[in-house]
Amino acid sequence: MSPAFVSPPCRSKKTVALLVGGPSPEHPISLLSSIQVIQALDRQQYDLLLIGIDQQGRWWHCDEADYLRYPEDPARIQLRVTGEPLALQPGSRGGQLRESQSGTPLPAIDVVFPLLHGSMGEDGALQGLLRWLQLPFVGCDLLASAIGMDKAITKQLLQAAGIPVAPFVVLRHPDVAQLNPAALVATLGLPLFVKPTNQGSSIGVSRVLHPAELQPAVQHALAFDHTVLVETAIQGQEIECALLGNQQPAVSVCGEIVVQDAFYAYETKYLNRGQAQLVIPAPLTPETSERVRRLAIQAWQRLGCYGLARVDFFVTADQQIFLNEINTIPGFTAISMYPQLWAASGLAYSQLLDRLITLALERDQPTVSLAERW
C-alpha cells in the first residue's frame, strides 16, 4: 500500500499538449491549476504546447508567457486569447491542429494533459474525442470519466459493490413537480445536501436544514444539471486521499480538510482561502487510515479508473467511513489537496507530472492480442 516510485527510463523529448480553460463553470479553476503545472513541467523532458479553450468552446494556441488576465486574483482570472482560433483536421493518428484561417499547423502532439475541470472536460466528452484521434492522454478513459462525473451513477455503483455511501435519492427534472419535502426528510433526515449530479467544486450545492428549504435547493441545483442528488449530511471528518497509477494504483497518505464554513463550498475552496485548512497527514488511527486507503482502491477498481483520481470520504466519530465522491481531474492549484498529498507521500510536483505523463504513454502501448498470446 505504500507508494513506490521508480524513475522513468531515458527517452526522447515529448510534446505535451496542455488543455486549459473550457466551457464549464469551473473554467477559472482550470486556469488556476494551469499556473503551477506550467511552472513545474520539466522542460528538459517535455516541450509544452499550451491550448486554451474559451467559455464558448473555441480552441486557441496560447503563449504561456501571456495567456492570463488577473492571474493573481481567483475571482477575476481570465483566459487571454490572441491570433486565430484553432481547427482540427482529423486523419491519421493525432490528426492535425491548425490555425483556422492561415492553415498554419501546430506541432505534432505526443500526449495530451487535460486540465479541464467539470463538464466537457472531465465527463468523458473530451476523452472520447482524444480516443477518436488515437492520442494518449493523462487521466481516466471515457467511461470512468463519465461515471466519476455523475455523482448518482457513482454512488449506485459503489453501493452495489458494498462500499459505504451516504443515504441518497436521485431526482430527475420531471420528478420535481411531485416533490414531497416532508416525505424526503422522513427518509433521509436533516440536514441534507442537494447537488447537481454532473458538477464539481461544490457548484450548485446547497445545505438544507429545514423542509421548506428543500424545493429552492432543488431548483438551484437544476440550474446546473437536469438530475439532482439529495443525500444525508454525514457529520464527521472530511478526509481525502490521492491515487496514481494504471492497473495497480499507488495511494497517498490521507489528508483532512478542516473548514470554518457550513461546508466546503466553491468560495471556501478558491476565494476565501483562510476558511479552510489542509491537515496532512490526517489525524486518524493507523487502522482507520488503512481502511480509507483500501476503500479508495476498491472504488478506483470498481469504476475502472486510470492515471489519477482523488477520493473523498467522511469519517464519523465512531470510525464509520462513507465515500463521498471521486474526482478524476482534481485541482492542481497551489492549494489543491491532490499535489499536496503526493508531496507528503514523497513525490514532488514536477515528479508527479512526469509520472502522470509516463502512465498515459504506458497505457497507450499496444497490448498482445489473445491470438498472439496463444
| Cis upstream peptide for 136 (omega within 30°) | no
Which tens digit of pLDDT belongs to each residue from 123-178?
999 999 999 999 999 999 999 999 999 999 999 999 999 999 999 999 998 888 88
Question: Do 265 and 301 fall into the same domain?
Answer: yes
Q: Is the pLDDT of residue 106 over 60?
A: yes
Q: Which of 232, 266, 282 is the last residue of a domain?
A: 232
Q: Report how far Cα 176 is from the mean position of its chain's Cα atoms.
A: 29
Could you tell me if residue 152 is inside a domain?
no
User: Which residues belong to the active site?
Assistant: 26, 201, 270, 310, 312, 325, 327, 331
Q: Which of 117, 138, 159 is the last residue of a domain?
A: 138
Residue 177 confidence (pLDDT): 81
Question: Do 191 and 243 fall into the same domain?
Answer: no
Question: Do 334 and 304 fall into the same domain?
Answer: yes
Which grid coordinates are listed for 8?
A: 522513468
Question: Do 24 and 130 fall into the same domain?
Answer: yes
Residue 3 confidence (pLDDT): 56
Residue 371 confidence (pLDDT): 40
Q: Is the pLDDT of residue 369 over 60?
A: no
Structural domains in the chain (count):
3
Could you tell me if residue 4 is inside a domain?
no
Residue 285 confidence (pLDDT): 97
- Decide: helix, strand or coil at residue 351: helix
**For residues 274 and 52, which has the higher predicted lDDT (pLDDT)?**
52
- Select the highest-mean-pLDDT range: 120-134, 194-208, 254-268: 120-134
Average pLDDT of the segment spanning 15-38: 96
Percent of the chain with pLDDT over 90: 80
Could you tell me if residue 59 is inside a domain?
yes
User: CB neighbours of 175 closer than 8 A, spacing ≥ 6?
Assistant: none
Could you tell me if residue 347 is inside a domain?
yes
Could you tell me if residue 145 is inside a domain?
no
The CATH number given to whatever domain includes residue 222 is 3.30.1490.20
Q: Is the pLDDT of residue 99 over 90?
A: yes
Question: Do 323 and 358 fall into the same domain?
Answer: yes
Residue 259 confidence (pLDDT): 86
Could you tell me if residue 156 is inside a domain?
no
The CATH number given to whatever domain includes residue 100 is 3.40.50.20
Query: 178: domain range?
Result: 167-232
Q: Is the pLDDT of residue 95 over 90?
A: no
Could you tell me if residue 282 is inside a domain?
yes
Residue 271 confidence (pLDDT): 52
Confidence grade of residue 334 (pLDDT, cut at 50, 70, 90):
confident
- Write down the mean pLDDT value for the chain: 91
The CATH number given to whatever domain includes residue 318 is 3.30.470.20
Q: From CA 217, how far away is CA 212, in angstroms rounded?
A: 9
Confidence grade of residue 11 (pLDDT, cut at 50, 70, 90):
low
**For residues 360 and 272, which has the higher predicted lDDT (pLDDT)?**
360
Q: Which of 192, 209, 232 is the last residue of a domain?
A: 232
Determine the length of the chain: 374
Question: Do 180 and 115 fall into the same domain?
Answer: no
